[in-house]
A = this chain, B = another copy of it.
Amino acid sequence: MKLATIQNQTRDGQLVVVNRALTHAIAVPHIAPTMQAAIDNWATTAGLLAAVYQDLNKGALADAFDFTTAAVMAPIPRAYHWADGSAYVTHVELVRKARNAELPESFWTDPLMYMGASDAFIGAHDDIQIADEAWGIDFESEVAVITDDVPAGVTAEEALSHIKLITIINDVSLRNLIPNELSKQFGFYQSKPWTSFAPVVVTPDELDGLWLAGKLHLPLHSTLNDQLIGSPNAGVDMTFNFGQLIAHAAKTRSLMAGTVIGSGTVANQGSVDGSSCLAEVRCLEIIKDGKPSTPFMSFGDKIEIEMKDPSGVSIFGKISQVVTKYER
Protein backbone atom coordinates (compact mmCIF):
# COMPACT_ATOMS: atom_id res chain seq x y z
CA MET A 1 0.00 0.00 0.00
CA LYS A 2 0.92 3.65 -0.31
CA LEU A 3 0.61 6.26 2.43
CA ALA A 4 1.16 10.01 2.64
CA THR A 5 0.64 12.92 5.00
CA ILE A 6 -1.18 16.07 3.96
CA GLN A 7 -1.40 19.46 5.58
CA ASN A 8 -4.21 20.05 8.05
CA GLN A 9 -2.79 22.96 10.10
CA THR A 10 -1.17 20.64 12.63
CA ARG A 11 2.50 19.83 13.11
CA ASP A 12 2.04 16.15 12.24
CA GLY A 13 -0.48 16.56 9.42
CA GLN A 14 -3.16 14.10 8.34
CA LEU A 15 -2.35 10.52 7.40
CA VAL A 16 -3.93 9.47 4.10
CA VAL A 17 -3.99 6.26 2.08
CA VAL A 18 -3.04 6.89 -1.56
CA ASN A 19 -3.97 4.66 -4.49
CA ARG A 20 -1.34 2.88 -6.55
CA ALA A 21 -1.59 5.38 -9.42
CA LEU A 22 -1.08 8.31 -7.00
CA THR A 23 -4.24 10.02 -8.25
CA HIS A 24 -6.58 9.62 -5.27
CA ALA A 25 -6.32 9.56 -1.49
CA ILE A 26 -8.52 9.21 1.53
CA ALA A 27 -8.13 10.19 5.17
CA VAL A 28 -8.31 7.42 7.76
CA PRO A 29 -8.73 9.12 11.16
CA HIS A 30 -10.65 6.11 12.47
CA ILE A 31 -7.51 3.99 11.95
CA ALA A 32 -4.71 6.48 12.70
CA PRO A 33 -4.72 10.28 12.57
CA THR A 34 -1.00 10.52 11.81
CA MET A 35 1.81 8.45 10.30
CA GLN A 36 3.47 8.19 13.72
CA ALA A 37 0.24 6.85 15.23
CA ALA A 38 0.05 4.28 12.42
CA ILE A 39 3.62 3.05 12.87
CA ASP A 40 3.31 3.12 16.69
CA ASN A 41 0.58 0.49 16.35
CA TRP A 42 1.59 -1.12 13.08
CA ALA A 43 0.53 -4.66 14.07
CA THR A 44 -3.02 -3.35 14.31
CA THR A 45 -3.11 -0.54 11.77
CA ALA A 46 -1.30 -2.16 8.83
CA GLY A 47 -4.11 -4.58 8.02
CA LEU A 48 -6.81 -1.93 8.39
CA LEU A 49 -4.93 0.50 6.15
CA ALA A 50 -4.31 -2.22 3.56
CA ALA A 51 -8.04 -2.92 3.38
CA VAL A 52 -8.71 0.77 2.68
CA TYR A 53 -5.97 0.70 0.04
CA GLN A 54 -7.65 -2.22 -1.75
CA ASP A 55 -10.99 -0.44 -1.85
CA LEU A 56 -9.35 2.80 -2.97
CA ASN A 57 -7.64 1.05 -5.89
CA LYS A 58 -11.02 -0.33 -6.93
CA GLY A 59 -12.42 3.21 -6.98
CA ALA A 60 -14.92 2.14 -4.37
CA LEU A 61 -14.53 4.99 -1.85
CA ALA A 62 -16.84 7.98 -2.17
CA ASP A 63 -14.78 10.15 0.21
CA ALA A 64 -11.60 9.87 -1.84
CA PHE A 65 -10.14 13.15 -3.10
CA ASP A 66 -7.71 14.24 -5.81
CA PHE A 67 -4.17 13.49 -4.60
CA THR A 68 -2.40 15.15 -7.53
CA THR A 69 -3.11 18.60 -6.13
CA ALA A 70 -2.87 17.69 -2.44
CA ALA A 71 -0.63 19.75 -0.16
CA VAL A 72 1.76 17.00 0.86
CA MET A 73 4.03 17.17 3.86
CA ALA A 74 6.87 14.73 4.45
CA PRO A 75 5.14 11.37 5.06
CA ILE A 76 6.40 11.56 8.64
CA PRO A 77 6.78 15.32 9.15
CA ARG A 78 8.68 14.99 12.40
CA ALA A 79 10.28 11.74 13.49
CA TYR A 80 12.06 10.64 16.65
CA HIS A 81 15.11 9.11 15.00
CA TRP A 82 16.85 9.65 11.67
CA ALA A 83 20.07 7.83 10.90
CA ASP A 84 21.69 8.10 7.52
CA GLY A 85 24.13 5.50 6.32
CA SER A 86 26.68 5.79 3.57
CA ALA A 87 26.03 2.37 2.09
CA TYR A 88 27.37 2.98 -1.42
CA VAL A 89 31.03 2.77 -0.45
CA THR A 90 32.04 3.27 -4.08
CA HIS A 91 30.84 6.88 -3.65
CA VAL A 92 32.95 7.36 -0.51
CA GLU A 93 35.94 5.85 -2.33
CA LEU A 94 35.51 8.30 -5.20
CA VAL A 95 35.25 11.31 -2.90
CA ARG A 96 38.44 10.19 -1.13
CA LYS A 97 40.22 9.60 -4.43
CA ALA A 98 39.45 13.18 -5.51
CA ARG A 99 41.35 14.48 -2.50
CA ASN A 100 44.11 11.86 -2.70
CA ALA A 101 43.03 10.20 0.54
CA GLU A 102 43.09 6.45 1.14
CA LEU A 103 39.84 4.64 1.87
CA PRO A 104 40.30 2.70 5.12
CA GLU A 105 39.80 -1.01 4.44
CA SER A 106 37.31 -1.15 7.35
CA PHE A 107 34.88 1.07 5.41
CA TRP A 108 33.93 -2.02 3.35
CA THR A 109 32.83 -3.92 6.46
CA ASP A 110 31.86 -1.27 9.09
CA PRO A 111 29.08 1.08 7.91
CA LEU A 112 29.43 4.84 8.12
CA MET A 113 26.31 6.28 9.70
CA TYR A 114 25.41 9.69 11.09
CA MET A 115 22.50 10.91 13.18
CA GLY A 116 20.44 13.53 11.37
CA ALA A 117 17.89 16.12 12.41
CA SER A 118 14.44 14.55 12.32
CA ASP A 119 12.34 17.31 13.88
CA ALA A 120 11.45 19.05 10.63
CA PHE A 121 11.47 16.82 7.58
CA ILE A 122 10.21 18.83 4.60
CA GLY A 123 7.71 17.90 1.92
CA ALA A 124 8.31 16.92 -1.69
CA HIS A 125 7.36 20.34 -3.01
CA ASP A 126 8.66 22.55 -0.21
CA ASP A 127 11.33 25.11 -0.96
CA ILE A 128 14.83 24.37 0.25
CA GLN A 129 15.45 27.53 2.25
CA ILE A 130 19.12 28.35 2.78
CA ALA A 131 20.52 31.66 4.02
CA ASP A 132 23.79 31.66 2.07
CA GLU A 133 24.74 30.23 -1.34
CA ALA A 134 28.38 30.27 -0.23
CA TRP A 135 27.65 27.31 2.04
CA GLY A 136 27.77 25.07 -1.07
CA ILE A 137 24.22 23.80 -1.52
CA ASP A 138 23.89 20.24 -2.80
CA PHE A 139 21.23 17.54 -3.03
CA GLU A 140 21.76 13.86 -2.17
CA SER A 141 19.31 11.38 -3.66
CA GLU A 142 18.79 8.37 -1.42
CA VAL A 143 16.50 5.48 -0.58
CA ALA A 144 15.11 5.43 2.97
CA VAL A 145 13.09 3.04 5.10
CA ILE A 146 10.91 3.45 8.19
CA THR A 147 10.98 0.77 10.88
CA ASP A 148 8.72 -0.39 13.66
CA ASP A 149 10.25 -1.06 17.10
CA VAL A 150 13.65 -2.72 16.69
CA PRO A 151 15.28 -4.49 19.66
CA ALA A 152 18.91 -3.78 20.51
CA GLY A 153 21.25 -6.41 19.16
CA VAL A 154 19.04 -7.32 16.21
CA THR A 155 20.80 -9.25 13.45
CA ALA A 156 20.96 -7.89 9.91
CA GLU A 157 18.74 -10.74 8.75
CA GLU A 158 16.14 -10.16 11.48
CA ALA A 159 16.25 -6.42 10.85
CA LEU A 160 14.75 -6.87 7.39
CA SER A 161 11.39 -7.80 8.93
CA HIS A 162 11.31 -4.48 10.80
CA ILE A 163 11.26 -2.48 7.55
CA LYS A 164 7.65 -1.41 7.17
CA LEU A 165 7.79 1.48 4.71
CA ILE A 166 10.12 2.54 1.89
CA THR A 167 10.59 5.83 0.05
CA ILE A 168 13.15 8.16 -1.56
CA ILE A 169 14.61 11.31 -0.03
CA ASN A 170 16.78 14.33 -0.67
CA ASP A 171 19.38 14.76 2.07
CA VAL A 172 20.28 18.41 1.51
CA SER A 173 23.95 19.07 2.23
CA LEU A 174 25.99 22.23 2.67
CA ARG A 175 29.29 21.08 1.23
CA ASN A 176 31.42 24.03 2.25
CA LEU A 177 30.47 23.58 5.91
CA ILE A 178 31.41 19.90 5.92
CA PRO A 179 35.23 20.07 6.13
CA ASN A 180 35.16 22.03 9.41
CA GLU A 181 32.55 19.72 10.91
CA LEU A 182 34.41 16.59 9.85
CA SER A 183 37.63 17.94 11.36
CA LYS A 184 35.84 18.36 14.69
CA GLN A 185 34.95 14.62 14.55
CA PHE A 186 31.50 15.13 16.14
CA GLY A 187 29.66 14.47 12.89
CA PHE A 188 27.50 16.56 10.59
CA TYR A 189 25.28 19.19 12.11
CA GLN A 190 25.08 22.59 10.44
CA SER A 191 26.07 20.97 7.13
CA LYS A 192 22.90 18.82 7.00
CA PRO A 193 20.04 21.30 7.41
CA TRP A 194 17.02 19.69 5.74
CA THR A 195 15.85 16.32 4.52
CA SER A 196 13.01 16.19 1.98
CA PHE A 197 10.78 13.20 1.32
CA ALA A 198 8.90 11.94 -1.72
CA PRO A 199 5.11 12.40 -1.47
CA VAL A 200 4.41 8.79 -0.51
CA VAL A 201 5.89 5.86 1.35
CA VAL A 202 5.09 2.31 0.28
CA THR A 203 5.08 -1.09 1.95
CA PRO A 204 7.64 -3.66 0.71
CA ASP A 205 4.94 -5.81 -0.94
CA GLU A 206 4.30 -2.90 -3.29
CA LEU A 207 7.79 -3.49 -4.75
CA ASP A 208 7.37 -7.14 -5.64
CA GLY A 209 10.51 -8.47 -7.30
CA LEU A 210 12.24 -5.09 -6.96
CA TRP A 211 12.81 -5.09 -3.18
CA LEU A 212 15.20 -7.97 -2.62
CA ALA A 213 17.25 -8.72 0.51
CA GLY A 214 17.04 -5.17 1.78
CA LYS A 215 17.91 -3.41 -1.48
CA LEU A 216 15.67 -1.62 -3.96
CA HIS A 217 16.63 -2.65 -7.49
CA LEU A 218 15.63 0.36 -9.57
CA PRO A 219 17.36 3.43 -11.01
CA LEU A 220 17.00 6.65 -9.01
CA HIS A 221 16.67 9.66 -11.28
CA SER A 222 18.06 13.05 -10.21
CA THR A 223 17.30 16.00 -12.48
CA LEU A 224 18.65 19.52 -11.91
CA ASN A 225 16.97 22.34 -13.83
CA ASP A 226 15.54 19.77 -16.28
CA GLN A 227 18.96 18.24 -16.93
CA LEU A 228 19.50 14.63 -15.85
CA ILE A 229 22.39 14.37 -13.40
CA GLY A 230 22.18 10.64 -12.95
CA SER A 231 20.15 7.44 -12.76
CA PRO A 232 22.30 4.97 -10.84
CA ASN A 233 20.60 1.75 -9.83
CA ALA A 234 19.96 1.68 -6.08
CA GLY A 235 20.24 -2.11 -6.02
CA VAL A 236 23.76 -2.14 -7.45
CA ASP A 237 26.96 -1.48 -5.44
CA MET A 238 25.04 -1.05 -2.18
CA THR A 239 27.73 -2.46 0.08
CA PHE A 240 25.44 -2.64 3.12
CA ASN A 241 21.78 -3.53 2.71
CA PHE A 242 19.13 -1.93 4.92
CA GLY A 243 19.18 -4.91 7.27
CA GLN A 244 22.87 -4.32 7.90
CA LEU A 245 22.35 -0.58 8.37
CA ILE A 246 19.58 -1.19 10.92
CA ALA A 247 21.67 -3.78 12.77
CA HIS A 248 24.50 -1.23 12.95
CA ALA A 249 22.16 1.43 14.32
CA ALA A 250 20.72 -0.99 16.88
CA LYS A 251 24.00 -2.47 18.12
CA THR A 252 23.91 -0.81 21.55
CA ARG A 253 20.27 0.31 21.90
CA SER A 254 16.78 -0.32 20.59
CA LEU A 255 15.22 1.85 17.89
CA MET A 256 11.72 3.16 18.42
CA ALA A 257 8.88 2.83 15.93
CA GLY A 258 9.11 5.43 13.19
CA THR A 259 12.91 5.38 12.97
CA VAL A 260 14.06 6.49 9.52
CA ILE A 261 17.19 4.87 8.07
CA GLY A 262 18.79 6.29 4.91
CA SER A 263 21.01 4.59 2.36
CA GLY A 264 23.33 7.50 1.71
CA THR A 265 23.89 8.90 -1.78
CA VAL A 266 23.05 6.23 -4.34
CA ALA A 267 26.09 5.57 -6.53
CA ASN A 268 27.38 2.93 -8.91
CA GLN A 269 30.98 1.95 -9.54
CA GLY A 270 32.50 4.22 -12.18
CA SER A 271 29.42 6.48 -12.12
CA VAL A 272 28.43 4.99 -15.48
CA ASP A 273 24.83 6.20 -15.17
CA GLY A 274 25.67 9.52 -13.60
CA SER A 275 25.51 10.70 -10.01
CA SER A 276 23.04 11.39 -7.21
CA CYS A 277 24.72 14.57 -5.95
CA LEU A 278 26.82 17.40 -7.34
CA ALA A 279 29.71 16.59 -5.01
CA GLU A 280 30.25 13.34 -6.90
CA VAL A 281 30.05 15.13 -10.27
CA ARG A 282 32.69 17.56 -9.03
CA CYS A 283 34.92 14.76 -7.75
CA LEU A 284 34.84 13.12 -11.18
CA GLU A 285 35.84 16.47 -12.72
CA ILE A 286 38.68 16.87 -10.23
CA ILE A 287 40.00 13.39 -11.01
CA LYS A 288 39.74 14.06 -14.78
CA ASP A 289 40.61 17.75 -15.07
CA GLY A 290 42.32 18.63 -11.81
CA LYS A 291 39.49 20.95 -10.79
CA PRO A 292 35.70 20.97 -10.60
CA SER A 293 33.68 22.83 -13.24
CA THR A 294 30.13 22.14 -12.05
CA PRO A 295 29.02 24.66 -9.40
CA PHE A 296 26.91 23.79 -6.41
CA MET A 297 23.24 24.86 -6.45
CA SER A 298 22.09 28.47 -6.63
CA PHE A 299 18.90 30.18 -5.50
CA GLY A 300 16.22 29.38 -8.07
CA ASP A 301 17.63 25.98 -8.98
CA LYS A 302 15.09 23.16 -9.23
CA ILE A 303 15.95 19.61 -8.15
CA GLU A 304 13.71 16.68 -9.06
CA ILE A 305 14.18 13.15 -7.76
CA GLU A 306 12.04 10.22 -8.83
CA MET A 307 11.96 6.44 -9.10
CA LYS A 308 9.81 4.64 -11.67
CA ASP A 309 8.75 1.03 -11.92
CA PRO A 310 9.80 -1.00 -14.98
CA SER A 311 6.67 0.17 -16.81
CA GLY A 312 7.62 3.82 -16.25
CA VAL A 313 5.11 4.66 -13.53
CA SER A 314 6.28 6.82 -10.62
CA ILE A 315 6.30 4.75 -7.44
CA PHE A 316 6.73 7.37 -4.70
CA GLY A 317 5.72 10.50 -6.61
CA LYS A 318 8.29 13.12 -7.50
CA ILE A 319 10.44 15.24 -5.21
CA SER A 320 10.46 18.63 -6.97
CA GLN A 321 11.97 21.48 -5.01
CA VAL A 322 13.39 24.92 -5.61
CA VAL A 323 16.28 26.38 -3.64
CA THR A 324 15.32 29.77 -2.19
CA LYS A 325 17.07 32.31 -0.03
CA TYR A 326 16.06 32.07 3.62
CA GLU A 327 15.14 35.41 5.16
CA ARG A 328 14.14 35.66 8.78
Chain A interface residues toward B at CB < 8 A: 11, 40, 78-81, 83, 86, 104, 107, 110, 112-120, 129-131, 135, 151-153, 174, 177, 180, 182-191, 193-194, 248-249, 251-256, 258-259, 326, 328
Contacts and interface: CB of A to CB of B under 8 A. Distances in A.
Contacts of A194: 253
A115 B117 contact: yes
Nearest to A328: B153
What's the dominant secondary structure at chain A's contact region?
Answer: loop
Contacts of A186: 86, 112-114, 187-188
Contact of A120 (B86, B118, B256): B256
A115 B112 contact: no
Given A112-B184, A120-B253, A153-B326, A190 B78 contact: no
Q: Which 8 A-B pairs have the closest CB atoms?
A: A187-B187, A80-B119, A119-B256, A81-B119, A193-B253, A115-B115, A193-B252, A114-B186
A186 B116 CA distance: 11
B83 A80 contact: no
Nearest to A258: B119
Nearest to A184: B112
Nearest to A81: B119
A208 to B, nearest CB: 31
Contact of A189 (B130, B193, B249): B249
A252 B187 contact: no
